[in-house]
């Protein structure tokens, strides 16, 4: 059971780190929106470090929610960027001929 919990925590951390870096590299976003997921990730790491200073209550209360919010914010930005790049006239990634609706 402990192995499963550790694997889940590592997977969440890797997902958070990947998504935060992807958002940070988006040049079309304002700087504060690019930095927000990475800042939330760093805050969650600082909250996790509170366990080393024998403050587990604060670490337990803050670390996981900050990681979860960082993932949600980063994935929302990634999806919004994909929608902005998608040309008009497409439906779920497949091209639609707007001039000839019967061909769809």
Q: What pLDDT sits at residue 103?
A: 56
- Output the CA torsion 46→47→48→52 (10° steps): 80
Q: What pLDDT sits at residue 60?
A: 86
Q: What percent of the chain has pLDDT over 90?
A: 49
Question: Does residue 56 contact residue 4 with C-beta atoms inside 8 Å?
Answer: no
Q: List b or e across 22-56, with b for residues whose CB sees 16 or more CB atoms inside 10 angstroms.
A: ebbeeeebeeeebebbbbbbebbeebbebeeeeee
3-state secondary structure of 20: helix
């Amino acid at each position: 059971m402990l192995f499963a919990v550790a694997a889940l925590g590592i997977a969440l951390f890797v997902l958070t780190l990947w998504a935060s870096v992807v958002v940070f590299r988006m040049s079309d976003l304002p700087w504060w929106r690019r930095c927000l997921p990475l800042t939330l990730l760093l805050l969650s790491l600082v909250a996790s470090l509170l366990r080393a200073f024998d403050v587990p209550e604060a670490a337990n209360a803050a670390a996981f929610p900050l990681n979860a919010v960082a993932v949600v914010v980063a994935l929302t930005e990634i999806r919004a960027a994909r929608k902005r790049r998608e040309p008009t006239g497409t439906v779920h990634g497949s091209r639609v001929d707007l001039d000839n609706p019967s061909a769809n």
